[in-house]
């Protein structure tokens, strides 16, 4: 049985835990509604857009 999917498992789990904590903390904030972002879908989209921007900038 090939278990290549377990390579870097610890690193991936740390990343997933960080994303989960980020989402949990951001969903509990009431600040989103002040800016017209009412749904979980919009919050998630904005968070991933910012994370993507940070990733792209860090690769320069």
2-59 pLDDT, tens digit per residue, is: 777 777 788 888 888 888 888 888 878 778 888 888 888 888 888 889 888 988 888 8
pTM, two decimals, is: 0.63
CA atoms within 13 A on the CB side of 58: 6
Q: Which H or E run contains 54? A: helix 40-58
Both tokens of residue 40?
């979980």
CA atoms within 13 A on the CB side of 34: 3
Residue 49 lies in domain: 4-59
| CA angle, residues 43, 31, 25, in degrees to nearest 5 | 60
How many domains does one find in the chain? 1
| Unique residue bearing structure tokens 């972002």 | 37
């Amino acid at each position: 049985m090939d278990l290549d999917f377990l390579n870097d498992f610890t690193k991936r789990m740390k990343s997933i835990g960080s994303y989960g904590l980020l989402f949990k903390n951001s969903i509990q904030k009431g600040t989103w509604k002040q800016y017209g972002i009412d749904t979980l879908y919009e919050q998630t989209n904005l968070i991933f857009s910012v994370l993507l921007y940070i990733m792209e900038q860090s690769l320069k």
